[in-house]
Structure 1
Amino acid sequence: MLARNELGHRLAILIVLEDARRADRLAVSLSGSEDLIPMLAGELHTDDAVDVAIVDEAAVGHVSLEGTPRVLLSSGPVEQRERFAAILPAGAEPALIAAAARLAAAGYHIVAGAAARRQDISVPADGEREQDGAYSGQPPLHLSPREAEVLALLAEGAPNKVIARRLDISVHTAKFHVAAILTKLGAANRTDAIATAMRQGLVLV
């Protein structure tokens, strides 16, 4: 899994949402990923370590975990966007939230205008890359339909064997598609590729 490769342990994900039923459903969905350990706010103990917090606007002021990256589920414009490792639509799918949580735990920011781990892939607020190796008025990146499928599975943390099984292709072919995606995105590794793809709106899971 992506988080295991990057961080070497399962990720503790704290979920703090105003809608308790949605928080429960999200926790159940995330628990299906073997690299994530979702926890609800009421289940958190003082000695529990948290890798990432998933919050909404109503919960932002109630989460005071110093230094813990936060993924915000937002239904409107957000001030002080740099406070968050990722900002997703309020109705984002659990798989996309999980991908954002993995990236946040690995030290990435996928918020337009926020500082990224690699400065050459940070995205200004206007959505256009600057001349230092990022967007510079180039045509939008195009992935083949198969590469788009592979990218969606990468965002779920799927290794090559799982990608091959899910798409009914050989492991060698899966590796080829992953390498092609990394090359097209100018990414150093899978995590980099997913972060870049999410910034560009290429990940639709």
Structure 2
Amino acid sequence: MTAALMTATLMTAAPVTPSPVTPAPVAAAPVTAAPVTATPVTAAATGLRVRIHATDPLRRRGLAAMLQGGGHVATDDTPDVELCDGIQPLPEAEAPVLVLASTLPAGSTPAGVLAPGATGQQLDLGLRAVAAGLLVRSPGLPEARVFAAVDDLPLLTPREREILALIGEGLSNKAMARRLSISIHTIKFHMEALFAKLDVTSRAEAVAKGLRGGVIEL
């Protein structure tokens, strides 16, 4: 009996506990970011060639710096616009004339008149306007008012004057509708009435009359 038990005990295999397997650490491969090259953005606006007429060298340099800030180039040859600081005779003007002056002699008819202290933005807008064939007048100059015919603008409603001013800012119909919180259909209705009263067929013509009448200011 004892021998049989011993034999049975020997024949029974002891359970084997597997040893835990620890995975070997895996080193992560370094991730290298590809270099990104920024593409410079070029301004879409095209600059003008401007000939400066100024007797004061310091003033001339200041105007040249303002022109450069607006993307324009000061030149002495084949200008797009003649920029005249003060009242000066320009018998051989080759381009539209923009004058910076607080007074003008009777009978002077330059394409543009701005105050001597015009800002860089006003100067930029004035130059581009006269180069496009528009008549520019600064409403802040009493003497320059002689160029704005009293009857040049018919009787416009306050809303039509608002829309004309916004056209001068270059806003689209959708942008004007958002600014005034009205529908695009209403904007088109006022635009048709405005164009009929001004007897114009384009936004450029409307802006030109708005500048002459003082509704649009630079």
Q: TM-score, normalised by structure 2?
A: 0.53
- Residues 165 and 210 in structure 2, CA contact (< 8 A), matched pair in contact too: no
Q: What are structure 1's unaligned runs of at least 5 residues?
A: 1-8, 32-36, 112-122
Equivalent residue letter for 1:153:
L
Alignment partner of 1:14 is 2:27: no
Q: Which residue of 2 aligns with 1:114?
A: none
Deviations 1:12-63 (A, max 9, x none): 15273653446534653xx3xxxxx422x3xx375xx5322333217x46x8
Q: Which residue of 1 aligns with 2:65?
A: 24
Alignment partner of 1:68 is 2:95: yes
Q: Which residue of 2 aligns with 1:154?
A: 167
Q: TM-score, normalised by structure 1?
A: 0.56
Alignment partner of 1:87 is 2:105: no
Number of aligned residue pairs:
162
- Residues 135 and 212 in structure 2, CA contact (< 8 A), matched pair in contact too: no
Q: Which residue of 1 aligns with 2:30?
A: none
Alignment match of 1:107 (pick from 133, 149, 152): 133
Q: What are structure 2's unaligned runs of at least 5 residues?
A: 1-44, 138-144
Alignment partner of 1:77 is 2:104: yes
Which of the two has higher C-alpha Rg? Answer: 2
> Cα–Cα, structure 1 residues 15 and 66, in superposed 2: closer, same or farther, change >3 Å?
closer
5 Å matches for 1:49-198? 50-57=79-86, 60=88, 66-78=93-105, 80-82=107-109, 84-92=110-118, 96-109=122-135, 127-129=149-151, 141-144=155-158, 146-164=159-177, 166-167=179-180, 170-198=183-211
Displacement after TM superposition at 1:69 (Å): 0.5
Q: Aligned to 1:77, what secondary structure does the other structure show?
A: coil
- Residues 150 and 213 in structure 2, CA contact (< 8 A), matched pair in contact too: no
Deviations 1:45-88 (A, max 9, x none): 75xx5322333217x46x88742101112111235513x11223
**Aligned counterparts of 2:196 and 2:122: Cα–Cα separation in 1:** 22
**Aligned counterparts of 1:100 and 1:81: Cα–Cα separation in 2:** 18
Instruction: Report the RMSD for the aligned CA atoms in angstroms.
Output: 3.9
Higher RCO structure, 1 or 2 (CA under 8 Å, sep 6+): 1
Displacement after TM superposition at 1:164 (Å): 4.2
- Residues 156 and 194 in structure 2, CA contact (< 8 A), matched pair in contact too: no
- Residues 111 and 135 in structure 2, CA contact (< 8 A), matched pair in contact too: yes
> Cα–Cα, structure 1 residues 70 and 96, in superposed 2: closer, same or farther, change >3 Å?
same
Question: Where has structure 1 moved over 6 Å in runs of 4 or more?
Answer: none
**Aligned counterparts of 1:21 and 1:101: Cα–Cα separation in 2:** 16
